[in-house]
Structure 1
Amino acid sequence: MRTSGVVMPIFSLPSDFGIGTLGRDACDFIDFLAAADVHVWEIMPICHTDSSFSPHNALCARAGNPLLIDLQPFVDQGVFSSRELSRMDWGRDRAKISYSKVAAAKYKALEMVFDALGFLSDSSFDRFREDNQDWLENYALFAAIYEQFQYLPLPLWGDGVARRSHAELDRLRIRLDRRIRFYEYLQYLFYGQWGQLRRYAAQKGVRLMGSMTFELPETSVELWTDPAANDVSFRDAFADRWKQRLAWSRRLYDITKVYRRVDGEEVFAFYEPTWVTADDFCETLLQIGRASAGDLAAAGRYTHAFQKGFGERAAARHLPHWYDRTAIAYVGTCSDDTIRGWIKTLDKATAQDVNEYIGTALPRDQAWSVLRTMWLSQAAIVLSPVQDFLELGSSSRLSGFENPADNWTWRLRRGSLTNRLAQRIARMNRLFDRGGRQ
């Protein structure tokens, strides 16, 4: 296998309603990838997040993000009109997501959908609840309680709820019954749309790469129901938990990336059943989980990021001439700057090293020269954020801003992905033998 991919969060897709969704704009992006002869789309985590809206802070590892649900099907069903939706406040900045406004408007619209459709006789919803009862009931209760406590962290819920007192939970189940069903229904809607999107991607020859964090956050269903969920002390229990997570990921993605960060060091591991067995992958994760920050450098064979090959903390393994034929390599990680923004921050000596390595010092050529250098490497898969194909600057990075509120807010402008750009990417893929249906 020799192919290429694009990193593009679903939430950053163009949309008329404040945030990207699983609907037509996601299908349009898949069409663009197919035209560009790109066969991997890394979508970032799609989980229901906590109030930080960071995709790495999942309330539940299995629950999809309700903000990504496309509302157009419910316009078609007459629940509301496009005009009614456009009158809601989704935020006025077409270049940034206003999460507080989007969440308020989206949940208002989804409550209208639930009121209209959520209590109709629906055998498919009943079947969804039955098929997912091992996680859905706990998730919906947790989400309803989280809302009830005004999105405070789990330790502030009081001992009775935090420690799952039977009496306290029974009381809340009765009190929050309608809201619990609401959150179950949103998951039904989300995964119905997700299934349609995944089938569309498969038809176009695009593989979906999803990602999950190694450690689950403190305020999550998993740690609420199993405080040892992050514990790597017991091999068998650790492996069992991860096999369950991997089995779920196979229902969602073609490739799964697991991410861990400790004291600024990062490591990725990739799971795809034809590459590695679940048992062997769990052993790899066990090694990663037990590694200290200093040890992660040794595990860095799972991580290749061009930008980390230069500067004071440079490591040679990140330079493309060292990639082997099993490598999965990135221009940079999701917390790194765009190519244009990154080069502008380099000191003179490091910038000269980069320019000599990519063969140009001309700003207008630097982004594509980095991409070309990555593409001609031996790596099995090379991936770049869509921003670098568009040669965008630091304001378009995904995260790593000084103000955390600016993280995960970037939005792709509608019309940016032109036929001309697709043809340029396709030419590069074919030139370096990364094209063709995989």
Structure 2
Amino acid sequence: MEACRIRGAGVLLPVSALPSPYGIGTLGNAAYRFIDQLHAAGQTYWQVLPIGPTGFGNSPYQSYSAFAGNPYFIDLDRLAEQGLLTQNDILKFDWGENPSCISYDKIAEHRLQLLQIAYENSNHLYRSDYMEFCKKQEHWLDDYALFMACKDHFGQCEWLKWNADIKERDSSALMNYRILLKEKIQFWKFCQYHFYQQWNDVKTYANKKGIYIIGDIPIYLALDSSDVWTHPELFLLDDEKQPKAVAGVPPDAFSDTGQLWGNPLYDWDYMEHTGFQWWKYRMACCSELYDFTRIDHFIGIVRYYEIPTGEENAIKGQWRKGPGAKLLHAIHEVIEPHRIIAEDLGVLTDEVTSLRKQMGYPGMKVLQFGFDGNPKNEHLPHNYEKDTVAYSGTHDNETVLGYFSTREEEHKRACFYCNATDLEELPNAFMRMLYGSVADIAMLQMQDILSLPNTARMNFPSTIGDNWQWRLESEQFTDNIAEHMRQLAHIYGR
């Protein structure tokens, strides 16, 4: 199914939040069932969060790799069907007792042990499709597998604290560690082979059901990632490989001190000198994994906020000019412009909007942000433009029910605008408003479809704590809810 942005509706639900008896959502039966439910609900799009392997804090926006998939998402039942695991292997571990909450401690303790058993039972090294996979992905896979093997070897500490020779990627050290850690390297490649195989099967099934998958990529990478270790020349690092400056956003109406993200910044001059080759690899990968790709913090491509290393907040940063159209023209060599979505939330400038429209990317609006009393608020549906992806809220938002339960004036405005009589009606009223708007894509968080309170919130930005834990329970997305969504989608031509 060729990716073509059409008027439609979709659901935002990360893979991690799919129902599963094994502690975290996977690319197994629940993924296929969810696609069937989306089809029955008259939906066109399934948006996921970044699917890369996560580390400390479990944030999908702080991944060990821009290319690898999260091994936690590998379906265990499918490995059992392939003879690599037994049900006894799977069931001997405790995956947590709460079906609506991921227990990352238990996942981290047991999941890789189980995948190691599957690896030891496999003869994948002799399979032609495995060898083809490794060949196709060699531009990142070899270094990623070595990176993860070294993290195991050095007790999971970040690569900046490894022995100097391998930290600096001395050629003899690379050769020696590849010999020393041969089995672990093969294990990490094995995990990626199965992730990609399962992901491709899920995407193929979704497309057959008329569902497009929208992926999400963070603009920046984690310092402790295989990409930064492998390609330090692409980033603004000093002689010790420490960031010269880090990413974030300045103070605004929501934060007096701004947001200090801490990611290393790109050396855009060097990247331009290399023809943005790394970005082309990245977007070519996205082109295969997803039907559409949302670029997080699109504003940072036009101008980015540079914060000196060592600052405790984002107050003392300064704006720098980004690569702009030069980068985007380069990535259009590997992915069609109509398959890109620009996450342009934040302090918008005319330059950002002009570039987005010049490239033909839709921008984003969030209905939850619309009720400050200003009728010209860009997040209100009567101000939308067609080239828009309109959300009830994103993964960084409170749920609709949670947000308006603590904001009396905004609650009153929202109820009046949406013709809702009380708080409980607002989530469904939001669905109607979004579906009825001119926006190309109307996107609702699953939590808002289910009218859940803030206990189901996915993320509290700029915090490390109880984030990324919420999960959909197997019986929550009922046939009645799906039928209601189907009727609304039909009425509003989606």
Does TM-score exceed 0.5, indicating one fold? Answer: yes
- 1:337 is the counterpart of 2:342: no
- The aligned counterpart of 1:101 is 106
Residue identity opposite 2:228 in structure 1: L
Q: Cα deviation per residue 1:398-429 (whole Å; 9 max; x = unaligned)? A: 11179633111101111111111110000010
Q: Report which of the two has the higher share of helix.
A: 1
Deviation at 1:153, TM superposition (A): 2.5
Once residues 227 and 403 of structure 2 are traced to their aligned partners in structure 1, the CA distance between those partners, rounded to angstroms, is 37
- The aligned counterpart of 2:425 is 365
Once residues 155 and 81 of structure 1 are traced to their aligned partners in structure 2, the CA distance between those partners, rounded to angstroms, is 39
Once residues 84 and 231 of structure 2 are traced to their aligned partners in structure 1, the CA distance between those partners, rounded to angstroms, is 39
**Distance 1:294-1:401 versus aligned 2 partners, 3 A rule:** closer
Question: Of the candidates 169, 192, 206, which is equivalent to residue 197 of structure 2?
Answer: 192
Structure 1 segment 390-409 matched on structure 2, within 5 A: 390-400=450-460, 404-409=464-469
- The aligned counterpart of 1:126 is 131
- The aligned counterpart of 1:136 is 141
Aligned to 1:404, the other structure's residue is in SS state coil
**Distance 1:241-1:407 versus aligned 2 partners, 3 A rule:** same
Q: Cα deviation per residue 1:373-403 (whole Å; 9 max; x = unaligned)? A: 1111100001011111100010101111796
Question: Of the candidates 17, 34, 40, which is equivalent to residue 29 of structure 1?
Answer: 34
Aligned to 2:195, the other structure's residue is in SS state helix
- The aligned counterpart of 2:352 is 299
Once residues 27 and 100 of structure 1 are traced to their aligned partners in structure 2, the CA distance between those partners, rounded to angstroms, is 27
Deviation at 1:283, TM superposition (A): 11
Once residues 163 and 394 of structure 2 are traced to their aligned partners in structure 1, the CA distance between those partners, rounded to angstroms, is 38
Aligned to 2:30, the other structure's residue is in SS state helix
Greater Cα offset, 407-416 or 127-136: 127-136
Deviation at 1:121, TM superposition (A): 2.4
Once residues 491 and 389 of structure 2 are traced to their aligned partners in structure 1, the CA distance between those partners, rounded to angstroms, is 19
Greater Cα offset, 75-84 or 164-173: 75-84
Question: Of the candidates 422, 428, 438, which is equivalent to residue 378 of structure 1?
Answer: 438
Q: Which has the higher contact order (CA 8 A, sep 6+)?
A: 1
Question: Of the candidates 285, 307, 312, which is equivalent to residue 248 of structure 1?
Answer: 285
- The aligned counterpart of 2:294 is 257
Question: Of the candidates 315, 327, 332, which is equivalent to residue 388 of structure 2?
Answer: 327
Residue identity opposite 1:233 in structure 2: D
Once residues 77 and 481 of structure 2 are traced to their aligned partners in structure 1, the CA distance between those partners, rounded to angstroms, is 28
Q: Cα deviation per residue 1:213-259 (whole Å; 9 max; x = unaligned)? A: 11111111221122225222354546333222111111100000010
Unaligned runs of at least 5 residues, structure 1: 265-275
Deviation at 1:280, TM superposition (A): 11
Aligned to 1:406, the other structure's residue is in SS state coil
**Distance 1:17-1:45 versus aligned 2 partners, 3 A rule:** same
- 1:317 is the counterpart of 2:371: no
Once residues 421 and 134 of structure 1 are traced to their aligned partners in structure 2, the CA distance between those partners, rounded to angstroms, is 44
- The aligned counterpart of 2:243 is none
* 8 Å CA contact 1:19, 1:67 repeated in 2: yes
Once residues 425 and 347 of structure 2 are traced to their aligned partners in structure 1, the CA distance between those partners, rounded to angstroms, is 36
Unaligned runs of at least 5 residues, structure 2: 1-5, 236-265, 306-313, 316-329, 357-362
Once residues 333 and 372 of structure 2 are traced to their aligned partners in structure 1, the CA distance between those partners, rounded to angstroms, is 37
Aligned to 1:399, the other structure's residue is in SS state coil
Once residues 299 and 208 of structure 1 are traced to their aligned partners in structure 2, the CA distance between those partners, rounded to angstroms, is 26
* 8 Å CA contact 1:8, 1:43 repeated in 2: yes
**Distance 1:330-1:184 versus aligned 2 partners, 3 A rule:** same
* 8 Å CA contact 2:284, 2:334 repeated in 1: no
- The aligned counterpart of 2:56 is 51
Q: Cα deviation per residue 1:17-44 (whole Å; 9 max; x = unaligned)? A: 0011001110000000000010100011
Structure 1 segment 165-180 matched on structure 2, within 5 A: 165-180=170-185
Aligned to 1:54, the other structure's residue is in SS state coil
Structure 1 segment 4-43 matched on structure 2, within 5 A: 4-43=9-48
- The aligned counterpart of 2:253 is none
Once residues 314 and 181 of structure 1 are traced to their aligned partners in structure 2, the CA distance between those partners, rounded to angstroms, is 58
Q: CA RMSD in A?
A: 2.9
**Distance 1:334-1:296 versus aligned 2 partners, 3 A rule:** farther
Deviation at 1:361, TM superposition (A): 3.8
Q: Cα deviation per residue 1:192-230 (whole Å; 9 max; x = unaligned)? A: 111111110011000000010111111112211222252
Identity %: 30
* 8 Å CA contact 1:309, 1:318 repeated in 2: yes
- The aligned counterpart of 1:424 is 484
Residue identity opposite 1:323 in structure 2: Y
Deviation at 1:360, TM superposition (A): 1.8
- 1:74 is the counterpart of 2:79: yes
Greater Cα offset, 153-162 or 131-140: 153-162
Residue identity opposite 1:208 in structure 2: I
Aligned to 2:396, the other structure's residue is in SS state coil
- The aligned counterpart of 2:268 is 232
* 8 Å CA contact 1:242, 1:282 repeated in 2: no
Deviation at 1:353, TM superposition (A): 1.7
Once residues 274 and 405 of structure 2 are traced to their aligned partners in structure 1, the CA distance between those partners, rounded to angstroms, is 47
Alignment size in residue pairs: 418
- The aligned counterpart of 1:271 is none
Once residues 76 and 87 of structure 2 are traced to their aligned partners in structure 1, the CA distance between those partners, rounded to angstroms, is 9
Once residues 159 and 391 of structure 1 are traced to their aligned partners in structure 2, the CA distance between those partners, rounded to angstroms, is 52
* 8 Å CA contact 1:243, 1:282 repeated in 2: no
